[in-house]
Amino acid sequence: MESSNIKKQYDFIIIGSGFGGSVSALRLSQKGYSVLVIEKGKWKKPEDFPKTNWNLKKWMWLPFLGFKGIFKMTFFRHLSVISGVGVGGGSLVYANTLPKPKDNFFNSGSWKDILNWKDELEPFYDIAYKMLGATENPEYFDADLILKGLAEDFSLDDKFERTKVAVFFGEEDKEVSDPYFEGEGPARSGCNFCGQCMTGCPYNAKNTLDKNYLYLAQKYGAEILPEHFVTGVTPTEQGYEISFRKTGKYFSKKKKLFASGIVFAGGVLGTVPLLLKLKNSSLPKVSDRIGMDIRSNNEALIFVTSTLGNIDMSKGVAIGSILNTSEHRHLEPVRYGSGSGFWRIGVLPLVSEPVWWKRIVKLVVKLVKEPLKWIRIYTVKNFAKQTVVLLYMEDLEGKLKMKPGRFFPLTSLQDGNPPSAFLPKAQKLAGRYAEKVKGKPLTFILETLTGTPSTAHILGGCVIGKDKESGVIDENHKIFGYDNLYVCDGSAVSANPGVNPALTITAMTERAMSKIQKKQR
C-alpha cells in the first residue's frame, strides 16, 4: 500500500519503481537501510486496469490530458519508444517474457573487457527467475501454433520453444495463498489465458513487481511515494538533497528530502534526461558519456491481421512461444486481449523502401491494387482476435545518442549505425506468417510514413565502463565521480541483449545490490 508518513531523511531514495528500482528497494531494505521509492505513475489495483486499450484514459500515460494509465509512447527523430508507467514500472505492461541473452551480449559493448559477465551474472539470473516466478508457458494457442508451422516451413523445428514467463499458472481463476515466498507474498489467482497481460492483468495472475520485490520491500520497511517526480539532486555534507513535485503539477512548489544515497532507476527515458540536466547544474562530474550508447534490440514490430473468421490470436499469455531463426535473431508472436483493437487506427500496410517518396508511392500502389482486401483487413470485427504482433529482435549493433532538446527533455542523434525500420529478414518472416493466415502485414504509421523504427526495449545511456572516459558507471553500477550514487535500470545495460531485457535488468541489479554492505548499526 502507498506510504502516507514520508520522513525528511532516508538512507537511500530510489527514483523509479521498475525492475531496477524494485530490486534495489527490497535488497537495500533487507540490509537494514531506510528506503523511499519515488514513482511518477499511479499505484494500480487489478480493478483499475482498462478492459481494453480503447479506454485511453486508463491505458495511456498523457498526464497533461489527465490520462494516467500504464502505457507511454515517446517519439524521437530516430526512434519511437513504448514504455510502462506506474508502481511496478514496465512490469505492468511488459509481455512477461524472461529469456537470457546469448553469448554475444556478454562479450560486446562498453563493459566487455571488465569482467566475465556471463559467469558473473549467472547466479543472479537464477535469483531473478525465482523472484519473478518464471515458469514455462504450459499451453500453445493459435498464434503460437502458426509460428510452429512457420518453423517447420524453414526446417527450424528444433528452434521453436516455449517461453519462460512471469505468470502464475495455478487452477484457472482460483485464488490461492502466496505460492512463491512461503506465505510472505500476496494471494494469487491462476492464469486464464485471456491475453490481457499488456493492458494490465485484471485477474491477479501476472507476476508484476508490486506482487514480489515491492511487496516484500514494504514488509522490510521500504516506503513508496507514487505520483511524484524528481527534479533535482544536489550534494550536501551529509549526502544529497532531492527536489521533487507532484506529477502533473509542473509549477507547484518543490518539496525536498535528504538521503545518504540515491539509486537512479527511471529507465532510459527517466534517468538519462535527469542526469543530463544534473550534469549541467549540481552534478558536473557525471561522465561526458551520459546519453551515449543508447540501443534498441534492433527490433521490428509487425502486425499481421488475418481474414480467417475461425482464428483467435488473442488467446494465451502475451508471448507464449519463440522461434530462434539464427544465432543472432528470433521471432515472437505477441497478443492483446479480445477487444483491444486500438492499434487498428495506428497502422498502415508494411512497405519496404528506405527512400521516403518511393515508399509513399509503393504504399499508394499497394492500397489501390487490392482495395477490397485492405478494406476487409481494416474492418475485421475483432482486431485483437484476428491480429498478432510479430516481435523480431536481433543482437547486432545499432546505436543512438541523446542530448537535451530545445523544447523536449531529450532529442536523438545518430551514433554510428542507428536502428532501422527496414529489416528484410523480419519482413520476409512476417510475409510468410501472413500467407498462412490469409492476412496482410502492417506496421506503425510512423514506420511507413517516416521510416522511423519502433522499440519496446530502449537501453543504455548510462553504460558500464572501465572509467568515466568509457562509461557513466563502474562495474558495480556506481556513478563515476560521486559516492553513493547508483544507476540500476535499462540505461545501465551496456550491450544489445537481442531479447526482452527485463530478466537481465533484474539480474544486473541483484548483482549491484549484492555489492552494497549491510547497514552498520
Domain ranges of the chain: 9-514
What ranges in 60-141 are assigned the alpha helix state H?
103-106, 117-132
- The pLDDT of residue 496: 93
Interacting residues of 198 by C-beta distance below 8 A, sequence separation 6+: 71, 93, 94, 95, 318, 334, 336
pLDDT on residue 487: 98
The one-digit pLDDT tens for each residue of the chain (521 residues) are: 555 578 999 999 999 999 999 999 999 999 999 999 999 999 999 999 999 999 999 999 999 899 999 999 999 999 999 999 999 999 999 999 999 999 999 999 999 999 999 999 999 999 999 999 999 999 999 999 999 999 999 999 999 999 999 999 999 999 999 999 999 999 999 999 999 999 999 999 999 999 999 999 999 999 999 999 999 999 999 999 999 999 987 777 889 999 999 999 999 999 999 999 999 999 999 999 999 999 988 899 999 999 998 999 999 999 999 999 998 899 999 999 999 999 999 999 999 888 999 999 999 999 999 999 999 999 999 999 999 999 999 887 788 999 998 878 889 988 877 788 889 999 999 999 999 999 999 999 999 999 999 999 999 999 999 999 999 999 999 999 999 999 999 999 999 999 999 999 999 999 999 999 999 87
Q: What is the pLDDT of residue 2?
A: 53
Say what the pLDDT of residue 309 is: 87
Residue of 78, 228, 330, 457 marked active site: 457
pLDDT value, residue 4: 59
CA distance 352 to 451: 9
Question: Any residues with CB less than 8 A from the CB of 477 and at least 6 apart, and which?
Answer: 464, 486, 487, 488, 492, 508, 509, 512
Q: What whole-number distance in Å separates Cα of residue 279 and Cα of residue 258? A: 19
Active site residue 228: no
Tell me, which fold does domain 9-514 have in CATH?
A: FAD/NAD(P)-binding domain (3.50.50)
Residue 428, pLDDT score? 95
Say what the pLDDT of residue 248 is. 84
Which amino acid would we find at residue 368?
V
Q: What is the pLDDT of residue 252?
A: 76
In this prediction, residue 408 carries a pLDDT of: 81
Q: How confident is the model at residue 253, as a pLDDT?
A: 82
Q: Which three cell numbers stand for residue 281?
A: 547544474
**Residue 302 near residue 390, CB atoms below 8 Å:** yes
Instruction: Give me the half-sphere count of Cα atoms (radius 13 Å) on the Cβ side of residue 363.
Output: 22
